[in-house]
A and B are shown apart, each in its own frame.
Chain A
Amino acid sequence: MAHGIAPIGIGNEGRQVFWNADSFELFLFLFTGIAMVIFAVGLFRRWQMWTAMGKPEIRMDNVNERLKLLWRNGILQIKTWQDPYPGVMHGMIFFGFFVLIFGAAFDATEFHITEPFGIAFLRGKFYLVFSMIMDLFGLFVLIGVLMALWRRYILRPDRLTYKGQPDSTPDDAIVLLLILGIIVTGFVIEALRIHVTWQQAPWEVWSFVGWNLAKAFAGVEPGSAKAMHAATWWIHTFIALGFIAYIPYSRLMHIITTPANHFMTTLKPVGQLEPIADFENAESFGVGTLEEFTWKQIFDSDACTRCGRCQDGCPAYLTGKHLSPKKLVQDIKTYWLEKAPAAVAAKNAAAGDGKLAKLGRILDLVSLLGKYKMAGEGYQPPAERALIGEVVDLHELWDCTNCMYCMENCSASIEHVPKIVGMRQYKVLMDADFAPELQLTYRNMENNSNPWGVGSHLRADWAKEVGVKTLAEDANVEYLFYVGCAGSFDDRGKKVSIAFAKILQAAGISFGILGTEESCCGDSAMRGGNEYLYQTLAQANIEVMKAYGVKKIIATCPHGYNALKKDYPNFDGNFEVYHHTEIIADLIAQGKIKLQKPVEGTFTYHDSCFLGRYNNVYEQPRKILAAVPGAKTVEMARNHGKSFCCGAGGARMWMEEHGDRINDARAKQAIDVNADTIAVGCPFCLTMMSDGIKDHSKEESMVALDLAEIVWKAMGLEEEKAPVEVCAAPAEE
Chain B
Amino acid sequence: MNIIACVKQVPDTEAQIKVKADGSGIEEGGIKWVMNPYDEFGVEEALKLKEKAGGDVTIVSIGPARAMETIRTALAMGAEKGVHIDDPALNAADAYTTAAALAAAIKGLPYDIIFCGQRAIDDDSAQVGAILAEILGVPQVTFVTKLEIDGTKVKAVRPIEGAQLVIETSLPCVITATKGLNEPRYASLPGIMKAKKKPVEAKNAAALGVSTDAKSKVAKMIPPPARPPGKILCADDTPEGKAAELAKLLREEAKVI
Q: Which residues of A are in contact with B by a Cβ distance under 8 Å? A: 279-280, 285, 428-432, 434, 436, 439, 442-443, 447-448, 453-458, 516, 532, 726-727, 730-731
Binds A, one of B156-164, B167-175, B183-191, B216-224: B183-191
Q: Say whether A447 contacts B189, CB under 8 Å.
A: no
Chain B, residue nearest A440 (CB): B186
Stretch at the interface among B9-17, B145-153, B198-206: B9-17
Return chain A residues, CB-CB under 8 Å to B257: none
- Which residues does chain A contribute within 8 Å of B135, judged by CB atoms? none
Bound-complex Cα distance A430 to B232 (A): 54
Q: Which residues of A contact B30 (CB under 8 A)?
A: 457, 516
Across the interface, do B188 and A432 meet the contact criterion of CB distance under 8 Å? yes
Which residue of B is nearest A456, CB measured?
B32
Residues of A within 8 A of B32 (CB): 447-448, 456
Residues of A within 8 A of B234 (CB): 726-727, 730
**Interface majority SS (helix, strand, loop, mixed), chain B:** loop
Interchain CA distance A442-B183 in the complex, whole Å: 15
- Are A439 and B186 interface neighbours, CB within 8 A? yes
Please encode chain B, from 204 to 234, with 1 for each CB lying within 8 Å of some chain A CB and 0 for all others. 0000000000000000000000000000101
Other A-B pairs, 4, CB within 8 Å; known A458-B16, A727-B232, A731-B232: A428-B186, A430-B189, A443-B186, A455-B12
Q: A279-B193, A430-B190, A727-B232 are in contact. Are A436 and B12 (CB under 8 A)?
A: no
For residue B154, CB closer than 8 A to chain A, the reply is no
Q: Is the Cβ of A436 less than 8 Å from the Cβ of B188?
A: no
A455 and B14 contact, Cβ closer than 8 Å, known pairs A448-B32, A532-B192, A727-B234: yes
Whether B26 sits at the interface, judged by CB under 8 Å, is no
Take A279-B193, A436-B183, A727-B234 as given contacts and tell me if A429 and B188 are in contact as well, using a CB distance cutoff of 8 Å. yes
Cross-chain contact A726 with B14 (CB below 8 angstroms)? no
User: Can you offer 7 A-B residue contacts whose CB atoms are under 8 A?
Assistant: A279-B189, A429-B189, A432-B191, A447-B14, A447-B34, A456-B32, A727-B237
CB distance from B64 to the nearest CB of A (A): 19
Min CB distance A421 to B, Å, is 15
Q: How far is the CB of B43 from chain A (nearest CB, A)?
A: 14
Chain A residues lying within 8 Å of B34, measured Cβ to Cβ, are: 447
B16, A532: Cβ atoms closer than 8 Å: no
A434: chain B residues at CB < 8 Å are: 186
Residues from chain A with a CB closer than 8 A to the CB of B232 are: 726-727, 731
Q: How far is the CA of A454 from the CA of B15 in the complex (A)?
A: 9
- Taking CB as reference atom, which chain A residue is nearest B190? A430
The A-B contact count (CB < 8 A) is 52
* Inter-chain contacts of A430 with B (CB < 8 A): 188-190
Q: Smallest CB-CB separation from B196: which chain A residue?
A: A280
Q: Once the chains bind, are B189 and A453 in contact (CB under 8 Å)?
A: no
Minimum C-beta distance from B220 to chain A (A): 24
Is B189 a contact of A455 with CB atoms below 8 Å?
A: no
Q: For chain B, residues 7 to 61, give those with C-beta under 8 angstroms from any C-beta of chain A.
A: 12, 14-16, 30, 32, 34
Chain A residue numbers with a CB within 8 Å of B12 are: 447-448, 455
Residues of chain B within 8 A (CB-CB) of A442 are 186
Which residues of chain B have C-beta atoms less than 8 A from A727's C-beta?
232, 234, 237
- Within the complex, what minimum Cβ distance (angstroms) separates A721 from chain B? 18
Collect the chain B residues with CB atoms within 8 Å of residue A447's CB. Answer: 12, 14, 32, 34
A328 to B120, CA, bound (A): 47
Most buried by B among A279, A285, A447: A447
- Bound complex: CA of A730 vs CA of B231, how far in Å? 11
Chain A CB count within 10 A is highest, among B16, B183, B188, for: B188
Distance in angstroms between the alpha carbons of A430 and B192 in the assembled complex: 10
Chain B residues contacting A431 (CB-CB under 8 Å) are: 188
CB nearest to B32 among chain A residues: A447
Provide the bound-state CA to CA distance between A285 and B191, in Å: 12
For the complex, give the distance between the alpha carbons of A431 and B15 in Å: 30
A517 shortest CB reach to chain B, Å: 11
- Bound complex: CA A437 to CA B131 (Å): 35
Q: Give the chain B neighbours of A456 by CB distance below 8 A.
A: 14, 32
Q: Is the CB of A453 within 8 A of B186?
A: no
Chain B residues, CB < 8 A from A439 = 186
Bound: A443/B183 CA distance, A: 13
**Known interface pairs A447-B34, A454-B14. Does A280 touch B193 (Cβ–Cβ under 8 Å)?**
yes
Task: Determine the distance from Cα of A439 to Cα of B234 in the docked complex, in whole angstroms.
Answer: 46
Q: List residues of chain A with CB within 8 A of the CB of B189.
A: 279, 285, 429-430, 532
A276 (CB) vs chain B CBs: closest residue: B189
User: A279 vs B192: C-alpha distance in the bound complex, in angstroms?
Assistant: 10
Q: How far is the CA of A187 from the CA of B190 in the complex (A)?
A: 66
List of A residues within 8 angstroms of B190 by Cβ: 285, 429-430
Closest to B77 in A: A432
Q: How far is the CA of A439 from the CA of B187 in the complex (A)?
A: 10
Whether A432 contacts B187 in the complex (CB less than 8 A), given A279-B193, A727-B232, comes out as yes
Select from chain A the residue with minimum beta-carbon distance to B30: A457
A residues near B237, Cβ cutoff 8 Å: 727
Partner of B16 from A429, A455, A726 at Cβ < 8 Å: A455
Q: How long is the Cα–Cα vector from A458 to B12 in the complex, in angstroms?
A: 14
Q: How far is the CB of B47 from chain A (nearest CB, A)?
A: 12
**A222 CB → nearest B CB, Å:** 81
A731 to B190, CA, bound (A): 60
Residue among A434, A443, A454 facing the most chain B CB atoms (10 A cut-off): A443
Given contacts A447-B32, A532-B192, A726-B232, contact A457 B187 (CB under 8 A): no
Q: Which residues does chain A contribute within 8 Å of B187, judged by CB atoms?
A: 432
Residues of A within 8 A of B15 (CB): 455, 457
A279 to B30 CA separation, bound complex (whole angstroms) = 27
**Cα–Cα distance between A108 and B30 once the two chains are bound (Å):** 81
Chain B residues within 8 Å of A458, by CB? 16
Q: Nearest-CB distance from A416 to chain B (Å)?
A: 24
Task: With CB as the reference atom, state the residue of chain B lying closest to A439.
Answer: B186
A515 to chain B, nearest CB (A): 12
> With the chains together, A280 CA to B190 CA distance in Å?
9
Chain B residues, CB < 8 A from A730: 234
Contact present for A453 and B14 (CB under 8 Å):
yes
Pairs of residues from A and B, 8 with the lowest C-beta to C-beta distance, nearest first: A727-B234, A455-B14, A429-B189, A432-B188, A457-B16, A432-B186, A726-B232, A439-B186
Chain A nearest CB from B231 CB (Å) reads 8
Closest beta carbon of chain A to B135's beta carbon, Å: 33
B234 to chain A, nearest CB (A): 4
Q: Which chain A residues border B16 with CB–CB below 8 Å?
A: 455, 457-458
Of listed A431, A456, A726, residue having the most chain B CB within 10 A: A456
Q: How far is the CA of A45 from the CA of B193 in the complex (A)?
A: 41
Alpha-carbon distance A434/B186, docked complex (angstroms):
9
Asked whether, in the complex, the Cβ of A448 is within 8 Å of the Cβ of B14, the reply is yes
B residues in contact with A448, CB < 8 Å: 12, 14, 32
